[in-house]
Structure formats: structure tokens, C-alpha cells
């Protein structure tokens, strides 16, 4: 059912907080996993059971410090667990779909509350803006109506957001559909008839501009994406991956923040690559020099092989890189090619099997027979 | 005068088919180039992409992955999974600036000693033609 959360005094954030409170109080969920404003001015996800604390909830906060699908995994992966509502933006919903397939999260007992994403800042940028009193939620939310998504002047959204061609919520139990809406008047939502009845909502159509505005945003973002993919492909072609990632210090931040890289026994965290000193000398003699830390390109190429088919493009890797490497661009650009080979769209459908755990006997019959 | 280039090949062969095929080539006294270094695994499906990438980055000229023909896997489906994994790997390294033609996947059964010898011969000739892996010179990888 489509309906609208009423907004009073033009304060959409207060209305959203009220809606979340209603979910708790009506017993739809026992707890909400939601971005919370902290006293220091940052935002962090928290699992909230006390409705009063939702006064600090901010489901629209324009900042992304982690892909919250990771922590949805923590609270949902096995029984016993609570009935939880998880507030997620579109890239987090897609990551959650992949994590469910990887058996690192579960949709059982979970109510997903998807929010159209208007773009996010890196944490340091958000903290700076907040410190200067420049985080104006009303102005930010107002950009949803026209689809002219823009950061505060002089600042930029995260690299991944600037080229995100899927900012709209597609698969969620409750979808807060911001695009095209006058959020000062009401927040359009889609939810099941059953939930709507439980919460006392009657059907109400929005003004129907969402599709049009989504199309406009997607077109603009796709153009940016394609330019950046073009640039990074040219660099990979000319410099190789060792050129693009030359400044990598192998801190593993990209892997740590990646929602898909979940392995607790990752080969690169093991002693496998703690070589003997004499081994480094062998390599240095063989090639005349050897890059240190060693196995850096092996790390990136292995990670590409292990997770790029599920890369949903949240770009947390780029945000977390201490040397500002275009990790997300490389992974997305290569991911697009590999995903096309398997006609796989990560995050699309929880029923669609992961390409590397399934197969058909009658595919690629010519491979291996030469 | 520069030494003549001889390619080095690292081969990951499954225990049940291709390794046994290689063994048959040997016991049948079939000649093939000595350019290949064989590593035996239980199944082509257990070849992690890292195994292929590490030698390529170190400068090995070619990597051969050998498994049972489709339908013949000792573990039912390992080779089907290997097939997808190698296809993904080749697509990835191609887009990351590597020459994916240096990675070969071949189905060779335990009775195909001749086919194993021919495959190694063909791959050696192919790599001689192609020349050394540029990674031999690249210290920054």
C-alpha cells in the first residue's frame, strides 16, 4: 500500500522519528537499528529499544561511516534474535541482500525500512559541517523534490555517491520514498497492507513524481559514473593495477569496511604472507627490487576475485583508504565487466544464487576442451 | 648473447584426472617440454584464484589449471565451479591490465596422457611466441 506520513511544521525529520516510534510502540518491532546522532556531533548506528531515545534518531543523516548491512548481520545472523526494524539506505539494502546469500545475515524476523538516499558525506566532512552548524536537514531534504541533489557549497558528497546510479529504494518492507516528494508536507511510503493496518494508515497516493525524479537523478549519476569508469579503465590499461594502487600501504581498511568481505579467517590476516627475511632477499635479487609491503597487488586481485561479483558499489573502501586510492572506482569498473559475464546484478534479488556457488552443466561448453 | 627465452609454466592438476593423465604420459614415455612445474591438488574446484595470481605476479609465464572433463568430477561438481571461477579470474585480470591468455584451463582425463603432453607442448610454444611475462621485470607488483 502507498500512503503518506503526515509532516507538521515542515519538519520531516520529526515526522520520521514519530513514525519510527510508532513502529516500536505498536509492537511491529522490538528494536530499531537506526542511525543515531551522538552528543559529539557524529552519527552511528545503534539498536534502540527505548522509544524516547529515538529523539536522537536520524534516518536521513547525510553521512556514511560504515555500511550498516554489516551490523544488521551482527544482530540477525542466528537465533535467538529480536524482531528488529533496520533503517537502511539503498546501497545498504543491496549489501544486505548479498550478505543474506553469503549466510552472514538473515531476513527472518527483520523488517527492512529503506530510505531513498540523497547523497552522503565522508565522516570528517560531516563532522566539519556539523561543527560549523552547516548541517541543515530541511535544506538537504528539500533537494529530494527536484532531484537536484547537491552538497553544501564548497563540499562534496562521497565519491561513490556522486556516481551512484541506484539511490532509490527498491526492495524494502517499508520504503520511505523521498524522491519527487515535498517532504515539508509529507513523506510518501510504501508498505504492506497488513503493516499499514497495524499502524493505522489509509491508502494515499503521493503526487506521483517519484519515477520521473528518480529517472533524472539516475541519468545524471550514470553519466558521472561512466566518465569515471572510462578514466579508471584508461589508467588500468596504461599503468596496470600496480600503477593505480602504487601508494597502497596494505592497511586492509578497504577489506575491513567492505560489507561483502566478511571472512573471519581471511588469508590476508593469516601468517601465510609473513615471509622469511631471506625470501624478500630472493625476490629483490630476482627482479632487482621488490615492493614492500609484499603481496599488495596479490591482496587487491584476490579480493577482486573473492568479492567483486557481489560489489554493490557503496564505496566504503574509497572512504576508508588512508592514501585516497580510487579503490571503489577500480572495483566497480571491473565489477561491472565481471557481473555482466554472469548476468548478475548484486543486491537485486535474494533468491538469485551467487554466481560462484552455482553452475549449469551446459554453459561455457567450449572452455577447457581446446 | 642473451639466453634463449624458455617459458615457465605452473600447473595445478587435479588428483583424479589430469595429474593421473600426466602420470600416464610419463609411464608411456611420451615426450613433452620440461617447462612445466606440476602441483597436485585434489580437485580443480579447490584452485583458489590466489594460487593462479601469485605465480603470475612473481613472473611465471603461464598457469595451467587441469581438471576432469565436465560430468567426470570425482566430487561431482568441482570442475563446473572451477570453470566459473577461472572465467571470472580471466575477466578480472584482463581488466586489471594483465594478459589473461597466460591462464589456461583444460579438461584432461586420466587416460589422456597424449592430450596432456600435447597441451603442455602447445602451451609452451604459445608462450615462447608470446614472450616473457612482463611481471618478471616489475618490482612494484
**Cβ atoms A18, A3 nearer than 8 A:** no
- Grouping H, G, I as helix, E, B as strand and the rest as coil, residue A156 is coil
- Which of A272, A301, A309, A362 to mutate to test binding with chain B, by most B CBs within 10 Å of its CB? A301
Contact A90, A114 (CB under 8 A): yes
Assess if residue A56 is contained within a domain.
yes
pLDDT for res B75: 98
Query: Do A141 and A274 fall into the same domain?
Result: no
pLDDT above 60 (res B20): yes
Contacts of A291 in chain B (CB under 8 A): 139-141
B9's enclosing H/E stretch is: strand B9-14
Count up the domains in chain A and report the number: 2
Q: Please choose, from the candidates A35, A111, A32, the residue with its C-alpha nearest in 3D space to the C-alpha of residue A67.
A: A35
Can you give the pLDDT at residue A205?
A: 86
Biggest alpha carbon–alpha carbon distance for chain B: 52
- Domain-located, residue A355: no
Write the pLDDT tens digit of every residue in A118-159: 999 999 999 999 999 999 999 999 999 999 999 999 999 999
| pLDDT score, position A3 | 97
Residue A171 and residue A286 in one domain: no
Calpha distance A332→A330 (Å, rounded): 6
Residues A142, A245, single domain; the answer is no
B1, pLDDT greater than 60: no
pLDDT of A275 > 60? The answer is yes
The reported pLDDT for the residue numbered B2 is 62
- For residues A35 and A171, membership in a common domain is answered with yes
Q: How many CB pairs under 8 A join A and B?
A: 118
Q: H or E segment at A145?
A: helix A137-146
Distances in Å between the Cα of A60 and the Cα atoms of A63, A119, A183, B96 are 9, 10, 12, 36
Q: Which of A185, A217, A249 is the last residue of a domain?
A: A217
Contact at CB, B106 and A368, closer than 8 angstroms: yes
Contact A289 B105 (CB under 8 A): no
Interface residues from chain B to A (CB-CB < 8 Å): 48-50, 53-54, 57-59, 67, 69-71, 77, 79-81, 83-89, 91-93, 95-98, 105-107, 136-141
Residues A197 and A271 in one domain: no
Let me know whether A281 and A201 are in one domain: no
Q: Is the pLDDT of residue B123 over 60?
A: yes
Residue A271: which domain range? 218-341
pTM score: 0.96
Provide the percentage of residues in chain A whose pLDDT is more than 90: 98
Among residues A217, A246, A263, which one ends one of the domains? A217
CA distance linking residue A182 with residue A307, whole number of Å: 39
Per CB-CB distance under 8 Å, the chain A contacts of B97 are 236-237, 239-243
Domain end point (choices A195, A217, A239):
A217
Same domain for A54 and A195: yes
Summarize pLDDT for A303-336 with one digit per residue, the tens: 999 999 999 999 999 999 999 999 999 999 999 9
* Beta-bridge mates of residue A63: A121
Averaged confidence pLDDT in chain A? 97
Q: Quick check: A207 pLDDT over 90?
A: no
Nearest chain B residue to A343 by CA distance is B88
Report helix, strand or coil for A15: helix
Q: Which domains occur in chain B, in start order?
A: 9-136 (3.40.50)
- Within a domain: A78: yes
User: Residue A17: CB partners within 8 Å, gap ≥ 6?
Assistant: A54, A55, A57
- E strands present in chain A: 2-6, 31-37, 43-48, 84-89, 110-115, 174-176, 186-191
Confidence of residue B114 (pLDDT cuts 50, 70, 90): very high
The mean pLDDT value for A71-84 works out to: 97
Amino acid at each position: 500500500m502507498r500512503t503518506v506520513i503526515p509532516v507538521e511544521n515542515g519538519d520531516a525529520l520529526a515526522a520520521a522519528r514519530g513514525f519510527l516510534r510508532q513502529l516500536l510502540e505498536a509492537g511491529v518491532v522490538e528494536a530499531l537499528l537506526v542511525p543515531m546522532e551522538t552528543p559529539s556531533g557524529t552519527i552511528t548506528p545503534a539498536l534502540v529499544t527505548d522509544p524516547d531515545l529515538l529523539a536522537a534518531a536520524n534516518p536521513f543523516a547525510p553521512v556514511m561511516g560504515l555500511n550498516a548491512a554489516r551490523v544488521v548481520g551482527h544482530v540477525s545472523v542466528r537465533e535467538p534474535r529480536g524482531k528488529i526494524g533496520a533503517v537502511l539506505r539503498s546501497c545498504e539494502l543491496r549489501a544486505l541482500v548479498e550478505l543474506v546469500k553469503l549466510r552472514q545475515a538473515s531476513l527472518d524476523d527483520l523488517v527492512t525500512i529503506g530510505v531513498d538516499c540523497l547523497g552522503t558525506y565522508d565522516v570528517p566532512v560531516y563532522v566539519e559541517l556539523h561543527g560549523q552548524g552547516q548541517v541543515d536537514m530541511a535544506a538537504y531534504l528539500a533537494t529530494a523534490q527536484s532531484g537536484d541533489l547537491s552538497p553544501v557549497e564548497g563540499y562534496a558528497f562521497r565519491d561513490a555517491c556522486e556516481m551512484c546510479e541506484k539511490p532509490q529504494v527498491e526492495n524494502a518492507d517499508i520504503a520511505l520514498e523521498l524522491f519527487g516528494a515535498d517532504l515539508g508536507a509529507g513523506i510518501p511510503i510504501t508498505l504492506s497492507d497488513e503493516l499499514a493496518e497495524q499502524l493505522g494508515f489509509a491508502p494515499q497516493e503521493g503526487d506521483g513524481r517519484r519515477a520521473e525524479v528518480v529517472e533524472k537523478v539516475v541519468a545524471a549519476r550514470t553519466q558521472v559514473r561512466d566518465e569515471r569508469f572510462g578514466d579508471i579503465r584508461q589508467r588500468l590499461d596504461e599503468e596496470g593495477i600496480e600503477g593505480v594502487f602504487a601508494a597502497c600501504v596494505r592497511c586492509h581498511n578497504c577489506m575491513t569496511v567492505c560489507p561483502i568481505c566478511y571472512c573471519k579467517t581471511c588469508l590476508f590476516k593469516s601468517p601465510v604472507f609473513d615471509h622469511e627475511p631471506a625470501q624478500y632477499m630472493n625476490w629483490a635479487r630476482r627482479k632487482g627490487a621488490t615492493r614492500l609491503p609484499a603481496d599488495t597487488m596479490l591482496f587487491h586481485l584476490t579480493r577482486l576475485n573473492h568479492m567483486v561479483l557481489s560489489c554493490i558499489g557503496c564505496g566504503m573502501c574509497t572512504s576508508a583508504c588512508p592514501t585516497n586510492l580510487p579503490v571503489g572506482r577500480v572495483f566497480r569498473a571491473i565489477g561491472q565487466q565481471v557481473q555482466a559475464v554472469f548476468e548478475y546484478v548484486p543486491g537485486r534479488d535474494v533468491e538469485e544464487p551467487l554466481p560462484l556457488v552455482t553452475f549449469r552443466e551446459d554453459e561455457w561448453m567450449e572452455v577447457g576442451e581446446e | 648473447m642473451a639466453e634463449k627465452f624458455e617459458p615457465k609454466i605452473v600447473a595445478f592438476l587435479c588428483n583424479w584426472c589430469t595429474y593421473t593423465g600426466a602420470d600416464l604420459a610419463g609411464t608411456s614415455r611420451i615426450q613433452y617440454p620440461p617447462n612445466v612445474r606440476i602441483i597436485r591438488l585434489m580437485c580443480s574446484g579447490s584452485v583458489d584464484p590466489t594460487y593462479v595470481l601469485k605465480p603470475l605476479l612473481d613472473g611465471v609465464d603461464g598457469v595451467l589449471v587441469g581438471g576432469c572433463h565436465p560430468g567426470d568430477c570425482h566430487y561431482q561438481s568441482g570442475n563446473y565451479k572451477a570453470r566459473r571461477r577461472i572465467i571470472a579470474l580471466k575477466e578480472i585480470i584482463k581488466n586489471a591490465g594483465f594478459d589473461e591468455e597466460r591462464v589456461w584451463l583444460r579438461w584432461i582425463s586420466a587416460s589422456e596422457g597424449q592430450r596432456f603432453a600435447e597441451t603442455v607442448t602447445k602451451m609452451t610454444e604459445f608462450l615462447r611466441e608470446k614472450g616473457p611475462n612482463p611481471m618478471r621485470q616489475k618490482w612494484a607488483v
